[in-house]
């Protein structure tokens, strides 16, 4: 069932009808009007990803902006961070129609206030306004009777996003690199090609399709792992890059065709940018603390609102170069950060392009293979995947077994043979995260934006992390059956 939360409005395409979309957008703007962050006559930016359901949702959202008295501007089909940057710079609300990485039959809307993403405290205010939204006139199919036609997109919003990086790096910053670009159906596929080529790289476009591919950077499909190895070998690539559908999660494979884990890309990027403080969720690789590279580290619950709140806390503590990242690889800047010949303005939302550029540029600057950037990190390895079509409430019910004084004992009974004994402790910050004497970590949690049960592992070797993940998933799959645990 469609649901509204900090990630925005998400649900099955068949549930996201015109009335539901219209109501949530109008409630969002009325909430902002209450906060004096929007007024009739004010601008609202709209953009979307390449899902086939996106244009219809944009049209319903456009109608709601008009009925709220706003002036909608169509930024086109562009990365989520590009739209967010445009809204933050102009101090106006923005709406991104995207399902991000979730399955093809779903979609959603991400809402941004003029100064940043929605926070947890905003949810109740928007839902309060939703209750009073009148039902708009619709036909027998549930479509708005007065449906707008989207205008041609305004290219300046995407151009401003590209200028953010072009102002920092020379035109030959990536010269000599042969980079494969896995385009699939990602909204940044053309933009990223232009950006990499503009920095002197030889770009090899690969895998473009007009059918939408839901690319989850924390649960890559086996075929994508095989493609990376084959493409790197066949085309003599120094790297292979891509993003998820709306380009807030990066994908980077090195010269061996090995996809980097997003949290390691985030860690490397934070080092390259000279961060003195880092915020990241508890599911990110503990090589972060073991590296000793940062004066302060804050661990959060999973989700960008929590990372953003932690970055705000770090700024209040007086840190000047603040970076946040998530295990999916999305990088957030909590402060201005000088980089080479320019300065990156703060962008407190997930971005896929910056970490890709940072790693590629650093490899080129050092004139070393990309894989060597990971060699100096503490050797801890993570893996992750999920069970799809796993009801959220069922996940919560199953994990309830590990609450309370006997939680460690119960977790040990269920998973101890996989992990070498009972856990030393459990962390309940987000789901259940178990720490074992062997150094293994097993983390279970319901997804926040899809009916999925997610599983994360960490160990001293890549093979062990993968072995633990597969063993845990096999056990978790039995949770679907009544009475199994």
Active-site amino acid positions: 100
Distances (CA, A) of 5 to 116, 120, 124, 326, 448: 15, 8, 9, 19, 9
> Could you tell me the end-to-end alpha-carbon distance of the chain, in angstroms, rounded to an integer?
26
């Amino acid at each position: 069932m469609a649901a509204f939360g900090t990630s925005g409005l998400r649900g099955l395409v068949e549930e996201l009808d015109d009335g539901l979309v219209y109501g949530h957008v109008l409630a969002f703007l009325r909430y902002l009007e209450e906060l004096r962050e929007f007024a009739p006559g004010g601008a609202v930016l709209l953009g979307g990803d390449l899902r086939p359901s996106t244009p219809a949702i944009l049209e319903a959202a456009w109608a709601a902006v008009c009925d709220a008295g706003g002036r909608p501007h169509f930024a086109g089909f562009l990365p989520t961070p590009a739209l967010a940057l445009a809204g933050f710079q102009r101090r106006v609300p923005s709406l991104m129609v995207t399902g991000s990485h979730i399955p093809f039959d779903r979609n959603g809307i991400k809402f941004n206030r003029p100064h940043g993403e929605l926070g947890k405290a905003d949810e109740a205010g928007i839902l309060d306004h939703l209750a009073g939204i009148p039902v708009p006139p619709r036909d027998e199919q549930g479509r708005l009777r007065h449906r707008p036609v989207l205008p041609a997109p305004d290219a300046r919003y995407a151009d401003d996003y590209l200028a953010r990086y072009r102002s920092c790096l020379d035109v030959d910053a990536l010269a000599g690199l042969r980079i494969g670009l896995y385009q699939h159906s990602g909204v940044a596929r053309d933009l990223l090609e232009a950006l990499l080529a503009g920095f002197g790289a030889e770009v090899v476009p690969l895998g473009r399709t007009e059918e939408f591919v839901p690319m989850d950077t924390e649960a890559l499909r086996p075929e994508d792992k095989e493609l990376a190895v084959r493409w790197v070998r066949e085309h003599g690539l120094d790297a292979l890059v891509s993003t998820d559908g709306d380009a807030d999660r990066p994908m980077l494979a090195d010269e061996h065709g090995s996809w980097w884990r997003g949290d390691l890309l985030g860690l490397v990027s934070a080092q390259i940018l000279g961060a003195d403080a880092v915020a990241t969720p508890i599911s990110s690789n503990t090589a972060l603390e073991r590296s000793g590279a940062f004066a302060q580290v804050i661990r959060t619950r999973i989700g960008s609102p929590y990372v953003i709140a932690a970055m705000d806390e770090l700024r209040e503590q007086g840190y000047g170069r603040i970076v946040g990242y998530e295990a999916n690889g999305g990088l957030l800047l909590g402060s201005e950060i000088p980089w080479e010949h320019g300065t990156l303005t703060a962008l407190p939302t997930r971005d896929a392009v910056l970490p890709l550029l940072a790693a590629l540029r650093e490899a080129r600057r050092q004139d070393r293979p990309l894989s060597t950037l990971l060699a100096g990190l503490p050797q801890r390895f993570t893996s992750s995947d999920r069970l799809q079509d796993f009801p959220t409430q069922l996940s919560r019910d199953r994990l309830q077994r590990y609450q309370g004084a006997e939680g460690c004992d119960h977790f040990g009974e269920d998973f101890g043979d996989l992990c070498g004994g009972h856990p030393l402790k459990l962390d309940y910050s987000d789901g259940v995260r178990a720490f074992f004497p062997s150094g293994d970590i097993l983390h279970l949690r319901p997804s926040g934006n899809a009916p999925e049960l997610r599983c994360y592992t960490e160990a001293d070797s890549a093979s062990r992390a993968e072995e633990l993940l597969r063993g845990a998933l096999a056990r978790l799959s039995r949770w679907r059956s009544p009475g199994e645990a």
